[in-house]
Structure 1
Amino acid sequence: MAIPGNTQIGRFMLLSMAVAAIFNIRNVVNSNIAIGTAAVPCFLLATAVFFIPYVLIIAEFVSLNKDAKSGIYQWIRSSMGDKWAFVGAYCYWFVNLFYFTSVLPNILVYASYAWLGYEVQLTPMVTVLLSIMLFAFATWVSTKGAAWVGRVTSVGSSLVLLLAFGFVTLSLMDWIGGVQPATPVSVATMTPTFNWAFMGAMAWILFAAGGAESVGVFLNDVRGGARTFVRTIIFAGLLIGVLYSVSALVLNLYVPASKLSYTSGVFQVFGALGAHHQVSSLLLNRVVGAVMLLGSFGTLMVWTAAPVKALFSEIPKGIFGERAIALNRHDMPERAAWIQFAVVVPLLVIPALGSGNVNQLLNVVINMTAATALLPPLIIMAAYFHLRLRLDHLPRDFRMGSRRMGLLVSGALLAFSGVAFIAAIFPAGQNLLLTLGYNVGGVVLFLGWAFWKYRQFERSQLTSLALPPTRVPASAGARRSS
């Protein structure tokens, strides 16, 4: 994924891209609800033991495949072959399905605040029905080639970042000015309780610190090469970790963690800050709602189109049918986009059947989003472990230390992320039937289908190789040449 022409990016642009791609104030709210002020050290921990090593792994894969145009598929293929490359690319699309289930209800909440200044209380099923209609619209637009989406996303993400920085700055100034936090800040309150619920919440924090794939691909475009990239991205990781940690620290300045909700937590903390500074809560709610709506809607449009196109254009031809991968006049696999829509609908409906309210619904889908989002990194880490174990002789300009160090780091990452994945798949306190049917069943069904589909492809390839070449009659050749 190189930048066209001779244009190269400097350190500041790379730093800005990393922060914009990874930092999101909503992730702070969700993690704070889950584990309170223990989120403060956990964000720093996730940055140190997950984000920075993971980015360096991506950097090494990019260095190994510097002439390749594709991303995750080629990285995994260079270490573990076509089968696991397909599974990794498929997982990158598959985890996006659960992202839709968490972002669509939130967009409805943002729209309510932007339009009315307060949240309209909806039942889970009404929320799901409206989410389905919204996703149908997003799918339709994505098949028409929406060039303006990039501009909307850029403006929206910039405004969300500006909003978050403003919140953190004002809250810090108030705290320094003498405001006592609603939730006491002490070593005791910030010390995590290492239980199963905590490990499940760590998946949310690892999900918040994710996004390294979108940054690592620019290794070859950074002015100064690999050394500049590594230094900048380590600094970016530390900055993002500090931003997340400081945000989590000041989040409960005016609102206790126990009072926050998944649907309107962002508005609760901004509203309390605005009330302290005598800003109209209705006006502030509408401004925050409009900014969050713009950012989330632009992101929804991009992620509705991009993973579908990437999956169906990157993997070997023949795995999916010609009709499914056929591009329309806007260069989009239209049928594949609507297949994606059809798959997302039951993923929205099933958790709603087991939820009493929208907050319970969001708790289920955020858990599943965070858990499944760890699948592509887990496969990339396994590919890297195999690279350092069996293929360390392959030439590349950048390596994450010695072979032994690479194996130790990737092995530790695999173990830590694997436990967090399992804990998020089996969250504490969730209905067992819902967990087995939705969390476990969803992963088994989707991954099982991927392995079965690739096995079918392998058999078709073997069959085509076994068939004798078709002989063309001489008379037919004579007719064509006449």
Structure 2
Amino acid sequence: MKDNSLNKGEYAEEIEENIEEKAGKNNKVAKIGFWSFVAMIFMTCYGLGNGQQIYYQMGYAAITYVIIGVVLFFIPYTFMVSEMSSAFHDEKGGIFSWMRNSVGIKFSTVGAFLWYISAVIWWFSTSSICITLSTMIFGKDESETWHLFGLSNTGTTAIIGVIWFIIIVFFCSRGIKSISKLANISMLVTILMHIIVLGGGLLVFFLNGAHFAQPFDYTGIHSLFMGPNKSYDTPIAALAFLVFAIFVLGGMEASGGLIDKVKNPKKNVPKAMILSGIIIAILYVAIVIITGMVINWKTTFSNPNVNLFNYAIYIVQQQFFELGRELGMSIPASIALGQWVNRITTWVTFISMLNLPLMLYYPIKQIFEGVPEGMLPKFLTKKNKRGITANALYVQAAIIIIAMLLIGFGGNVANTVYNNLTFMVTITTSIPWAFIVFAYIKFKLNDNIKKEYQFFNKKWGVIVGSITFVTLVFADVFSIIQPFIEHNYQQAIWILSGPIIFGLIGFILAVNYLRKQKQNLI
């Protein structure tokens, strides 16, 4: 395998290019270079924790579902986004512009608004930063015992989460130059994290005589589709995991909103997206295999305290406990080694969170800078001197902060509402992908749209787009009917209500805009 490390001089030049002023003396706009754009894509579409999580959920069988997701969704979707990004590289609205130019204003507003709302609701969980902080200090999660100034635990975590979120908003308001620098730092720190965790895993594996801690049984039909986790040992549950495997590969479209800020977008955007997509797909499979080399599923995850929020802590703890034992350390010393490495890796993870302002900026860019003038109040679309729609950012931040405080101080009722909102946003997140793929099919069929970069010709673009569209529709429909099958009707209603409510709001916005436009012509 080739050495993917960058020449230091070239990387320094790339960073310098990111902060060059390209738009004249009176209109200073920073441009994003190729490697910085790769970093931005990578940091928003990929996570080491995602690879560890799918191993926790499905063991080696996760490889099957990742391969299916990569073949039927991720690879074709990356090429589709690359083509539309290149064709509309002068547009500022990202996915909104793609869908509007390919299909129409109503379609694009509904799809983009569904995507935006799901991105906003995701931030309601910012209080989970307390788990990170606890691990940084103690080497394990003790955040459930925290009580500041006599507040409840949920109130304490909400306050800490709000403070953290305000810091993110501050850096986001500093403009794309600041965000680009943070993404570069985050990318480098993420590479360091991989060296520690994956490199440490390979070291344990070879010290152990190259024996897999989790036997590598990946031959029969059952081992290909069923893992050791009893929660996924039925066909229905396995299909539910396929949906998750597809979801974890999504997000490439978010980078499309930055096309107008990328240096030489016609060349750099498709190349960056394709390169990032290939690396991400390979890494997820590698993480599953390397984790199984050193982590026995039953030994590590049989602890009832392990869940989808803290699984990574247990993986690191077990991995470096095994390293300590292989190096001849005592059991207490090996446990301490695991806790200290957990502290270190959590600090590294915390630094990698420097990409969060970028994730906050994406939905702002797609909606408030992308929709036609007059669809939203001018107050929300006004930019500050750094080119950021700051008023929209602050209004969005206020909504998120209020929601976080209500959840933190609202008791069980508020927590129930948050859980239901989470169910709602699950399906609302993926439906816009189907919108984008459908728009791509229309995009390929429209010969009036100039296509500067094409991976698929017209015929194959329509065929591949149709297969990906059917895959996404299947995933979305199954997500909706699964709780009905399991007789969890409350969850089913919340999931179904998400796309209906938010889609209706987007439709009303589009209809009102078109009505105003018609009145102006009279």
TM-score band by shorter chain is 0.7 to 0.9
Q: Write the mapping of 1:21-60 to structure 2, written as runs, cut at 5 A.
A: 21-60=44-83
CA contact (8 A) 2:204 2:323 kept: no
Does the residue aligned with 2:456 lie in a helix, a strand or coil? coil
Does the residue aligned with 1:315 lie in a helix, a strand or coil? coil
Does the residue aligned with 2:369 lie in a helix, a strand or coil? helix
Note the alpha carbon deviations across 1:78-121, whole angstroms, 9 max, x for none.
2112333333433342221133235x244221111112322124
| Residue number in structure 2 paired with 1:112 | 134
1:451 to 502, 507, 513: 507
CA contact (8 A) 1:325 1:335 kept: yes
Q: Write the mapping of 1:89-168 to structure 2, written as runs, cut at 5 A.
A: 89-102=112-125, 104-122=126-144, 127-128=157-158, 130-139=160-169, 142-143=172-173, 148-168=178-198
Alpha-carbon distance change, 456 to 362 in structure 1, aligned in 2, over 3 angstroms: closer
- Return the offset for 1:186: 3.1
2:218 to 175, 182, 186: 186
Q: Which moved more, 1:195-204 or 1:402-411?
A: 195-204
| Residue number in structure 2 paired with 1:382 | 438
* TM-score of the pair, normalised by structure 2: 0.74
| Residue number in structure 2 paired with 1:71 | 94
Residue 286, structure 1, aligned to residue 343, structure 2: yes
Give the Cα separation in 2 of the matches to 1:262 and 1:327.
39
* TM-score of the pair, normalised by structure 1: 0.79
| Residue number in structure 1 paired with 2:105 | 82
Residue 276, structure 1, aligned to residue 322, structure 2: yes
Give the Cα separation in 2 of the matches to 1:355 and 1:434.
16
Note the alpha carbon deviations across 1:200-221, whole angstroms, 9 max, x for none.
3333322332233366777996
Residue 256, structure 1, aligned to residue 329, structure 2: no
Alpha-carbon distance change, 60 to 291 in structure 1, aligned in 2, over 3 angstroms: same
| Identical columns (%) | 18
1:423 to 466, 478, 482: 478
- Amino acid of the structure 2 residue aligned with 1:292: T
- Amino acid of the structure 1 residue aligned with 2:165: F
2:205 to 171, 175, 187: 175
Note the alpha carbon deviations across 1:407-429, whole angstroms, 9 max, x for none.
22111111111222233455556
Note the alpha carbon deviations across 1:370-401, whole angstroms, 9 max, x for none.
53332332111011112234x14644243343
| Residue number in structure 1 paired with 2:460 | 405
1:243 to 283, 308, 318: 283
Give 5+ residue unaligned stretches, structure 2: 1-16, 24-30, 145-152, 227-232, 325-333
Residue 373, structure 1, aligned to residue 437, structure 2: no
Give the Cα separation in 1 of the matches to 2:420 and 2:297.
22
1:303 to 359, 368, 392: 359
Q: Write the mapping of 1:318-329 to structure 2, written as runs, cut at 5 A.
A: 318-328=374-384
- Amino acid of the structure 2 residue aligned with 1:190: L
Give the Cα separation in 2 of the matches to 1:35 and 1:29.
10
Give the Cα separation in 1 of the matches to 2:431 and 2:411.
25
Give the Cα separation in 2 of the matches to 1:28 and 1:106.
19
Alpha-carbon distance change, 322 to 425 in structure 1, aligned in 2, over 3 angstroms: same
| Residue number in structure 1 paired with 2:331 | none
CA contact (8 A) 2:109 2:507 kept: no
Give the Cα separation in 1 of the matches to 2:499 and 2:159.
24
Alpha-carbon distance change, 13 to 156 in structure 1, aligned in 2, over 3 angstroms: closer
Q: Which moved more, 1:29-38 or 1:185-194?
A: 185-194
- Amino acid of the structure 2 residue aligned with 1:387: F
CA contact (8 A) 1:98 1:372 kept: no
- Amino acid of the structure 1 residue aligned with 2:288: A
- Amino acid of the structure 1 residue aligned with 2:133: A
CA contact (8 A) 1:8 1:222 kept: no
Give the Cα separation in 2 of the matches to 1:461 and 1:117.
59
- Amino acid of the structure 1 residue aligned with 2:69: A
CA contact (8 A) 2:254 2:362 kept: no
CA contact (8 A) 1:113 1:289 kept: yes
| Residue number in structure 1 paired with 2:490 | 433
- Amino acid of the structure 1 residue aligned with 2:340: L
Alpha-carbon distance change, 9 to 127 in structure 1, aligned in 2, over 3 angstroms: closer
Alpha-carbon distance change, 210 to 168 in structure 1, aligned in 2, over 3 angstroms: same
- Return the offset for 1:26: 1.2
CA contact (8 A) 2:134 2:143 kept: no
| Residue number in structure 2 paired with 1:464 | 520
Give the Cα separation in 1 of the matches to 2:116 and 2:178.
23
Give the Cα separation in 1 of the matches to 2:360 and 2:108.
22
- Amino acid of the structure 2 residue aligned with 1:308: I
CA-based RMSD of the aligned residues comes to 4.1
Alpha-carbon distance change, 21 to 334 in structure 1, aligned in 2, over 3 angstroms: closer
Give the Cα separation in 1 of the matches to 2:68 and 2:172.
38
Alpha-carbon distance change, 364 to 211 in structure 1, aligned in 2, over 3 angstroms: same
- Return the offset for 1:245: 1.0
Does the residue aligned with 1:251 lie in a helix, a strand or coil? helix
Does the residue aligned with 2:374 lie in a helix, a strand or coil? coil
Give the Cα separation in 2 of the matches to 1:157 and 1:124.
32
Aligned length: 457
CA contact (8 A) 2:136 2:342 kept: yes
Give the Cα separation in 1 of the matches to 2:176 and 2:454.
39
1:203 to 211, 236, 243: 243
CA contact (8 A) 2:186 2:351 kept: yes
Alpha-carbon distance change, 272 to 202 in structure 1, aligned in 2, over 3 angstroms: same
Q: Which moved more, 1:409-418 or 1:318-327?
A: 318-327
